Every structure is written in C-alpha cells, then in structure tokens.
Amino acid sequence: MISLNEVAISFHNVCYEIDHLSILNNINGEFYKGKITTLVGPSGAGKSTLLKMCNGLLSPTTGDILIENKPVHFYEPTTLRKSVGIALQSAPIIRGTVFHNLSLPYTLQHKSLLESDAISFLEDVGLDHTFLQRQAEDLSGGQKQKVSIARSLLNRPKILLLDEITSALDPTSVYEIEQLILNINQKFGVTIIWITHNIEQAKRIGHYTWIMMEGQLLETGESKILSSSTNGKIQQFVSGVQQ
C-alpha cells in the first residue's frame, strides 16, 4: 500500500529580496508532517532565511507559504510562534535556574509552569529533576542546548525548526541531541526542519533533505539524494564538505 505524506508547510514560488538583492529565488517545495527534513547547502545559500519564513519571522517578497494549507499571514503571530517552535545554534540562556529558563515562554504569557510539568519536559530531553534548581549558565554546552530544546517544546509545537543546533558540540553531545530529536519526532509526531552543515548527520537523521545553493532549491527528496544525486554541483558540494 502506498502511504501519501501529508504536507505541513509548502512553499509556492517564494522569492525574498533585500535592497534589490535576491536572497531566495523561486522556492517551491513541501515539508511533510511528522517527518524530519534536513536542510543543507553552502554558507550563504539562504537556509536560515528560509527557516525564518516558516514561523513568520520573515515574509516572502513574492510568493506564498502555506502552513497546514493556510497562508502564514492567516495565523495570529503569537499562535504561529506557539505551533512552530525554533531552537538555534547558540542556545539562548538567561541568568537564573534551569526552572527559571524553562518557565520563560509561560512567564511571557503570564502563566506559571508547574514544577511537575517542568520535570516532565526535562525528562523529555534526557535531564533528570536534579537539574531544575541548577544555575543554567553553569551547564555544559550540550546541557544548555537540551534546556533550550525543552523550552521550545513548552507550547507543544507541531513543527520544530532547528538551526545548526549541534555544530558547537562535542561528539557525545551531538549523538545525545540527535537521539532526543528522533525521540521527540517519534513520541509527539513533531515535524522537524533541521539545518545542518554535517552531511552525515543530514543522512542519518533526515527522512528527507532539501539541498540549497545560491538562494535556489537545487534538489529535494529522501536523504539518500545526498549520496545518489547525479547533479554535479551537489556531488561537488557533498564531497567538498566531507573532505
């Protein structure tokens, strides 16, 4: 039986310009519900720009982006930010305890986070209750990233955007973060879009991959395209990154 993927986000002829400079050029493609899509390409290809369009941080100059079949501008910005979470390379941590850091999205919504819920969010990212009262600034890079991911789960997002979240981490932490993202994807069915410069990671983690270059979407498909693509530019990019 063929199972058809449902679409979480679709791009239709999306262009983005700054000061008449083309940053994204006619992007057409789909991110599938409950799947992990890795986004790869050389520095400056437009990956972060494209990611920021998925939660309304940036808007296309022309073209349309649909989230669950509705245009991005249909959603109220705070509703959109709740259903599309984001985690960045440098996990933003503020002074105070892990509990204080975790509570932040709720504090901003004038809500309070129950300690039992905070523990459950920490457990989802592989940290036990003893972390709750630790000073967040004293944590290792990998632990800070886990707290940041736990915080981005607080609003129970349907979609999670990840921008190079493991590029500053040691191999053990990289492995742990990969495992917890896989777990979040499987346990909660969260759609993941993950920018990475690590081709092996893109193949290991992604069900699908988008390959971008110079503001264009060169190829999309199952992540094996990173090995099997016959496009010379892609072959050159992949072999260059792996050297």
Which residues contact ligand ATP by CB under 6 A? 18, 23, 41, 43-49
Q: To the nearest whole angstrom, how small is the minimum distance from the Cβ of residue 195 to ligand ATP?
A: 7
Q: To the nearest whole angstrom, how small is the minimum distance from the Cβ of residue 43 to ligand ATP?
A: 3
Ranges of beta strands (E only) in 101-170 are 159-163
Q: How many CB atoms neighbour CB 132 within 10 A?
A: 16
Give the β-pairing of 36-40 and 7-18. unpaired
Q: To the nearest whole angstrom, how small is the minimum distance from the Cβ of residue 75 to ligand ATP?
A: 22
Q: To the nearest whole angstrom, how small is the minimum distance from the Cβ of residue 46 to ligand ATP?
A: 4
Closest CA to 147 of 171, 119, 174: 119
Q: To the nearest whole angstrom, how small is the minimum distance from the Cβ of residue 236 to ligand ATP?
A: 17
Let me know: does 127 contact 106? Beta carbons within 8 Å. no
Give the β-pairing of 21-32 and 7-18. antiparallel
Residue nearer to ligand ATP on the CB measure, 26 or 97: 26
Residue nearer to ligand ATP on the CB measure, 86 or 118: 86
- Beta partners for 192? 36, 160
Residue nearer to ligand ATP on the CB measure, 18 or 114: 18
Long-range contacts, 186-191 (Cβ 8 Å, 24+) = 187/124, 188/153, 188/156, 189/33, 189/34, 190/34, 190/157, 190/158, 190/159, 190/160, 191/8, 191/9, 191/31, 191/32, 191/33, 191/34, 191/35, 191/158, 191/159, 191/160
Residue 88, sorted as left (phi over 0), alpha (psi -120 to 50) or beta, turns out to be beta
Residue nearer to ligand ATP on the CB measure, 46 or 150: 46
Residue nearer to ligand ATP on the CB measure, 49 or 166: 49
Residue nearer to ligand ATP on the CB measure, 37 or 48: 48
Q: To the nearest whole angstrom, how small is the minimum distance from the Cβ of residue 231 to ligand ATP?
A: 18
